[in-house]
Structure 1
């Protein structure tokens, strides 16, 4: 039996973090926004975060939204804040910190090479994904005054890779630390031969300590994020889709990928269902959608499946989101 979307508020009330994801164009942002609004109106302090590089949060709420929290709604007992993650800003801050550290320990004539290296790093594959991941971690770590964080994510493939990154980055950083340990042992042996009072040796030792400190902090951050996203009591994922063949198949694939990553999937929300009593065309479409819903239930018999109806008009602005939020129960 398919349920209304009343499972969604219950899931939100029992978690600190929710990820809302699915195929592009199925209504992830509107679903995430309606749920965030509903929870805020119920008295909670909610942070709604878009991780999709093609942000729609500002368009939907009809106001500027940037990389720092802005007020979206405080008409109820709670507060709703919004953020659109800017990976470029996160990357700039990270490279600025790395650059300052490198320049502190490098002779001045090598500073241009440091800058050239950082510019190459900016364009490296995976750089933007790791920047988004780091910003997600920052927002989670600074959320003591927030009851619920809802992440409105990019389309399925991008999101699956993003949620796999904490483990990958943690392992990669651990590898760097092991290599640093070998380098430090070798450096200590060289310094012992050269004499401990050598200024160059002291600079090298300080550089080694600083590099190890930075790597250790990043490893700890990624490990904490990995622990969070795989903790079913604190974090869950909701897959949004429409009752069409491709979204159903992609959602099943995403569900299975998330399960392999150890991410709890709280349920699926089938969005924009056609009414069966509004004319022959929509009735025929509703019948076809029911076949896809039956297939979804056959492929994922263990999954909680909720539904949301197609609503008239453009889903833009607070009033439209209020109507959708009412459908959540």
Structure 2
């Protein structure tokens, strides 16, 4: 299921409950496709990043090469999103605009306001969302496949719904910006200052509009990608246990409500049946949870990955997991 799904998509999100192996599964998927000759971008959106630890190398907010196949020509690059960098860059741009058009004695107030804005509710989510949108633009232009390793379920479900919310919000800001510009022009005319050059939008208005328009376009693009099941799909990763099963069912419902295609489920760390009585009994219990999963989510394809021995660290271990993909 999973490999067939990947071959027909350009963007793949993997998510689920914390601790079920999302990063390992996303890495295995990305490595498999790079080995097959595709240009792959692997992105971690989880604030508690594990991508660099898993690959045993430094990974940051700028793409770094994780793997290159000299035979097929495939390449895999990795990114760990740094929301603070996005926040800082956005507020620096806003601050420069405000300082250009305000007297010098008010600059300290501008700095104080921006400092508070950096810690206001929603700023972190908005920064992650904008960075994801930028990486989708970059990835679709320069890569064959983008694989997102997402944060635990609740955070990810909210993130999938945000493009619609943010796009609508940005439209409202642009509408209010237009009204403010018209009102300002009318006031200047009433004051007797009807010079067309002065009643036209100022450079400040134009720069503010440019910032709002650019962000709106990014969120709308992301919303279109998420809603297009021919381009984007979401795979829920879980372990064969009661709580991950129930949380996965809830996540699937939330994704569908947000208009995101649920391409399938990957049940990770399935115990072997031929490695002693303890694991055999555990496998029987896991099978009951698998049966419950298929009953609760009928028609959703399910793949399984086995419980592997040893620590999953480094390209060789990830390659071993990738060979288990179907």
Query: Smaller-chain TM-score range?
Result: over 0.9
Q: What is the correspondence of 1:83-122 to structure 2 with a 5 Å cutoff?
A: 83-122=79-118
TM-score by length of 2: 0.96
Once the 2 structures are TM-superposed, how far is the Cα of residue 207 of structure 1 from its aligned partner?
A: 1.9
Q: Does the residue aligned with 1:142 lie in a helix, a strand or coil?
A: helix
Once the 2 structures are TM-superposed, how far is the Cα of residue 202 of structure 1 from its aligned partner?
A: 6.6
Query: Which one of the candidate residues 246, 259, 276 is aligned to 2:256?
Result: 259
Q: Work out whether residues 91 and 114 of structure 2, in 8 Å CA contact, stay in contact via their aligned partners in 1.
A: yes
Once the 2 structures are TM-superposed, how far is the Cα of residue 208 of structure 1 from its aligned partner?
A: 2.0
Provide, for residues 83-134 of structure 1, a one-character-per-residue CA deviation record: whole Å limited to 9, x for no partner.
Answer: 0000011111111111111111111111111111111110011111111111
Provide the residue aligned with 2:78 in structure 1: 82
Q: Does the residue aligned with 1:80 lie in a helix, a strand or coil?
A: strand
Once the 2 structures are TM-superposed, how far is the Cα of residue 206 of structure 1 from its aligned partner?
A: 2.5
Q: Work out whether residues 105 and 203 of structure 1, in 8 Å CA contact, stay in contact via their aligned partners in 2.
A: no
Q: Work out whether residues 17 and 235 of structure 1, in 8 Å CA contact, stay in contact via their aligned partners in 2.
A: yes
Provide, for residues 255-301 of structure 1, a one-character-per-residue CA deviation record: whole Å limited to 9, x for no partner.
Answer: 00000111001100000000112111111100000000000000000
Q: What is the correspondence of 1:297-308 to structure 2 with a 5 Å cutoff?
A: 297-308=294-305
- Unaligned segments of structure 1, at least 5 residues: 1-6
Query: Which one of the candidate residues 185, 188, 204 is aligned to 2:185?
Result: 188
1:133 to 2:132 alignment = no
Provide the residue aligned with 1:275 in structure 2: 272
Query: Which one of the candidate residues 14, 17, 20 is aligned to 2:14?
Result: 20
With 318-327 and 171-180 compared, the bigger mean Cα shift is at 171-180
| Cα distance between partner residues in 1 of 2:6 and 2:104 | 53
Q: Work out whether residues 237 and 265 of structure 1, in 8 Å CA contact, stay in contact via their aligned partners in 2.
A: yes
1:39 to 2:19 alignment = no
Q: Does the residue aligned with 1:19 lie in a helix, a strand or coil?
A: strand
1:29 to 2:23 alignment = yes
1:49 to 2:43 alignment = yes
Q: What is the correspondence of 1:150-229 to structure 2 with a 5 Å cutoff?
A: 150-194=147-191, 195-197=193-195, 205-229=202-226
| Cα distance between partner residues in 2 of 1:198 and 1:149 | 49
Once the 2 structures are TM-superposed, how far is the Cα of residue 213 of structure 1 from its aligned partner?
A: 2.1
1:64 to 2:58 alignment = yes
TM-score by length of 1: 0.95
| Cα distance between partner residues in 1 of 2:180 and 2:105 | 24
Q: Work out whether residues 50 and 57 of structure 1, in 8 Å CA contact, stay in contact via their aligned partners in 2.
A: yes
